[in-house]
Structures are given as structure tokens and as C-alpha cells.
Amino acid sequence: MSDQNCEVLIIGAGPVGLIGAIDLAQRGIDVLVIDQRINYDPLTVRCNHISSRSMEIFRRLGFVETVREGGFNETFPHDVSIRLTTTGTEIGRIKIPSRQGRQLGERGPDGWWPTLEPPHRMNQIFLEPILQKIAQETQGLEIKFDQKALEVGDEGDHVKTTVRSSDGEERQIKSQYLIGCDGGGSFVRKSIGGQLEGDAVIQRVQSSFIHAPGLTDMMQAEPCWAVLNLNPRRSGTIYTIDNADRFLVHNYLRPGEEFDTLDRDENLRIILGVNDSFDYTLLGNEDWIGRRLVTDKMSKGRVFLAGDSAHIWVPMAGYGMNAGIADVTGLTWLLDARLKGWGSESMLQAYAAERLPITQQVSQLAMATAETMIQNRAAIPNEIEDDTSEGERARAWFGSNTRDLNTPQYCCAGLNYGYFYDASPIICYDNGEPPPYSMNEYSPSTVPGCRIAHVVMQDGTSLYDHFGQSYTLVRTSPSAGEGLISEASDRELPLTVVDLHRSDLHDHALYIVRPDQHVAWRGMTNPLDAGAIFDVLCGKQ
């Protein structure tokens, strides 16, 4: 039995695991990623959306342009069309600009967002190879496939993991910390006694990955990224995967329907609006059950969970993958702090204290959105396909109503920027109240626990571009903060200093901001006891 040592072991080489590994390696941490797949094949075509917050993370890691250039061609619109069938009448549209359209200043429902990195529509099968290539080229990062974890043991001062390859060879990996990014059936979660709790079934969806040459030419409406197909006979959503006639088609099962009793071909043709003469190829069965399940623990000792290993919910608008990316990048900087010595062991307790409540919240939002869509499909007027004045009125009303119901799902500012950590052990709270937010509503804030309000700097860069890998001191008064700078130096804590013009939005003299953009402390004047502040921020209180 051969052995290997590393500082952080990540189990699972999907997007969440790879991003966590890239982040750690860029910080100088020795990281190993293992995956039980024999070689690197993308796991699924289900995720079609990369959130703005994730794109900001990719910008920080240095590869956002590579990702943004992937997927569709630059002129392909990211619109969501609402139709009776894919090839039938359009009754509504959510207009979302193409990549080129954004560059030319086209506005959409997310055009007002406070960021230099808007969301991007690209399927996971294109994202994963990009991340794998970047990971393979990142110094200090190793990926090994054909490695199935058999046993995970927290030994107190390290984690011992036993793995086996398909040829039967077993070996042990000794790491300081372990992150489980190994999906819904997570072996790591089970190894720490984690249990998924929540709603086991919200929606059953018969999902088909197809190659359908000629389907795009048959569509009566302008090109789009997604089509919501709504008629009294059978409703479903179709997502364009590429510019070469590959699509993912979701057929929403009705109450009482089961996967094995529903004719896939018949219902797929109803959704598409094509007859038996239309030829397509089924590339993959992607059937899924929408759930709302969240682990009762996101960490135990030196072992942590991120992504689907910690939460499973309805895969709408990429919530699952993007929440997993937020998980793992909320953990990497904490591990970095601990491994480099300026953060205490108890600092790591902030991860579960922060992410678990947000995970519960997002799961509820995803479930509520799914339930709203189910209700909307149940309310389709029977006359909506009729060539009558009543049918025309039904199409106009239902199209407008569906557009308004779905815009928050696809353009969710609050979900990207609004959430805040209200009970973190490493945040110094004051009397400020975080602003309320919903899925699509967001008000910029600098209250501790919130994402610090974004601003474009005079040179056209983002405020976030100037943040460091640990804490950043943002000053609106250039002479302020000397005590904080001196205290950080004494602790050998790397503190980046950024000067910012004072404004109504940034009206405090000093802010200490974390690398995940959340405010850790703010003050109107120089603090009397900088040491007490850093005791909290470093988990040493």
C-alpha cells in the first residue's frame, strides 16, 4: 500500500472541487484532487447557467474571459422564450443579451447589476473541460482519476483517507484537511455522519439530451437560450446546449405519473411540436427528481462538505453548482489562514456557521420557485391554443404572466448579492441593519456580514479587483487605519490596503473586507483596540 501526503485533499473533480483546488493552489497550498471516474468526462448537461457571483470568482482566479468565450457564439442571444411548443407560437420573451450584446451596451433585466461580471449561459459540459485544463496547468495541484475513497478517518492532527483504483490497488492519503465535493450520494458526508433532511420529492422530470438537426430552422421565433413550452397537453422546457442542434428537454411529470410508465418519445414530440416524421437522436437519459435536501452538518473536525454533497435541490438556473462554488470559495480562504498560521483552528468553525443557514435559505427559494412554476403550469388556459379571440386573449395574458413569474428565476440579483452572514463567529457586527432582499431584489450595503457594495474604480477596474487573498482594509480616509495595519503586521497577517473615495454608499472611514467580499468590520474612526478586532476576525477571541 503506497502513501501520499498533501495539505488539502479534495474528493470529487466536478466544477466545485476543481474551483476549490485552483483557489487553494493559487494560494500556495499543496492540494490533491481525486475522483472515482476512470477519466475526465463531464458528469452532466444539467447546469446551463454560471451566476454573476461565480463569474466574479473566476475573474479573481484569472480565467473569467476564457469561460465567457466558451459555449455559444458571441451573437447568440441568451433570451428565454415562452411558447405553446418549441416550434409553435411565441407568447412571451425574457430578453437577455448575448455576449456581444452586453459588450455593445444592450440592456436586459440584469443590466443594472452592480458588477463588472454579469452572468453567463454555458453548459456544464463546456465548463468542466476548461476548469480541468486550468487545474492541470496550476502549480501545486494534482488530479488523480480512478481513485475511489473507501475510508475517511479524522486522526485529530490529520485526515487519513484510504482509496482504491479499478485494478484493486489500495493506498492511503494523509492530508491536513479534506473537502468532500463528491455529489449527492457523498461518501464523505456519510463518513462524518451527515444526514440529508428536507423534502424528498418536489417534482419529477423526464429529461432528454437530444441531437435534433433542423429543429432550430423549424422554430417560428427568434433564436434563444431556453424555451418554456406551455400547453394543456404537455409542458416542458428546452435548453439550447450549443450552436449545433443539441438540446436538453425537460418534460414535467404530473402528479401520479412515473418515469417508467410515461412514453418519452410521445411526450417529447408534444413539447417540441413535431410529428412522427421528425428525426432526432437521444444522446442521454437525464431524468431527475427535484428535491430540497440539506445536510445537518457541513463539517466535522478536519473534514468539510461543499456543493451537492451538502445540498440537493431543484436544478433551476444553476442554483446547485453556483451555490457549491460559493461554498468552496467560502472555505478556501479559511483553510489558507489556518495553514499559514495567522488563523486559529476555531476560525474554521465559521464555515458551517455561515454557509449552512444560507444553504437552507437558498434551498427554500429554489423550492418556492419550483412550486410556483408547477402552479403556473396547472393554470394554463384550456383555450390557449385556439384560433379564436378567447385564445388570443389567453395567450397574451398567460405569456405576460409567465414572463413576470420567471424573470426573477433567470435574473436573480438578490440570490447573487443579497445574502448576508448574520451569526458568524468571525464578523464584528454593529448596529447596522442589513437591507431586505428577495430572489431578484438587492440593495447595496456595507453592513458587516453583507457583501460590500460594489464600485467601479477610476481606472475602470472593479473594487474587488484590488482585494488580497486574506483581509483587505478599504479606507475612505487615507490617513486612517494605521493601528489596524500595525496590528496585522505584528500578527504576520497579510493585509491589503485599498483607498476609496468616500460616498453615500461607502460612508465609513474604514472597512475590513474578506476575500469573499463580505464585510468583516467597519468603523467611522480609528479603533481604540485593533487587537480585539483581529482576535475576532482570526477566531482567537
Torsion, CA 496, CA 497, CA 503, CA 504, rounded to 10: 50
Grid coordinates representing 511 are: 472597512
* Residue 39, pLDDT score: 77
Domains, the chain, ordered by start: 2-70+122-196+293-364 (3.50.50.60), 420-541 (3.40.30.120)
HSE, CB side, 13 Å, CA atoms: give it for residue 392.
3
Q: Tens digit of pLDDT for each residue in 196-210?
A: 998 878 889 999 999
The DSSP annotation for 258-311 comes to -GGGS-HHHHHHHHHT--TT---EEEEE--EEEEEEEES-SEETTEEE-GGGTE
* Residue 365, pLDDT score: 81
Grid coordinates representing 435 are: 437591507
Instruction: Convert 394-409 to b/e letters by CB count within 10 Å (16 or more is b).
Output: bbeebbeebbebbbbb
Phi/psi at 199 (5° precision) = -110, 115
The DSSP annotation for 155-169 comes to -SSSEEEEEE-TTS-
Q: Determine the Cα–Cα distance for residues 164 and 162; give it in Å rounded to an integer.
A: 7
| Whole-structure pTM value | 0.95
* Residue 2, pLDDT score: 58
Sequence-distant (6+) residues with CB within 8 A of 520 are 426, 427, 428, 448, 471, 512, 513, 514, 537
Look at the chain and count its residues.
Answer: 541
Beta partners for residue 2, in sequence order: 171
What is the three-class DSSP state of 17? helix
Q: Determine the Cα–Cα distance for residues 188 and 36; give it in Å rounded to an integer.
A: 13
* Residue 316, pLDDT score: 64
Q: 471 near 514, Cβ under 8 Å?
A: yes
* Residue 66, pLDDT score: 97
Q: Determine the Cα–Cα distance for residues 123 and 450; give it in Å rounded to an integer.
A: 30
Grid coordinates representing 416 are: 447573487
CA angle, corner 487, sides to 486 and 493, nearest 5?
Answer: 100
Phi/psi at 45 (5° precision) = -105, 15
Sequence-distant (6+) residues with CB within 8 A of 105 are none
Q: Tens digit of pLDDT for each residue in 227-280?
A: 999 999 999 999 999 988 999 999 999 888 888 889 999 999 999 999 999 999
| Cβ atoms < 10 Å from Cβ of 507 | 11
DSSP at 348: G
The span from the first CA to the last CA of the chain, in angstroms, equals 43
Q: Determine the Cα–Cα distance for residues 276 and 267; give it in Å rounded to an integer.
A: 11
Please report where in the chains the cell 385564445 appears, as a residue.
391
Which residue, among 241, 268, 311, 253, has the nearest Cα to 45 in the 3D structure? 241
Sequence-distant (6+) residues with CB within 8 A of 470 are 333, 336, 337, 342, 493, 494, 495, 496, 515
Instruction: Convert 2-14 to b/e letters by CB count within 10 Å (16 or more is b).
Output: eebebbbbbbbbb
| Cβ atoms < 10 Å from Cβ of 168 | 6
Q: Determine the Cα–Cα distance for residues 289 and 123; give it in Å rounded to an integer.
A: 20
* Residue 363, pLDDT score: 82
Q: Could you say which residues of the chain have pLDDT below 70?
A: 1-2, 42-43, 315-318
Beta partners for residue 284, in sequence order: 209
202 to 84, 366, 370, 373: CA distances (angstroms): 24, 10, 8, 11
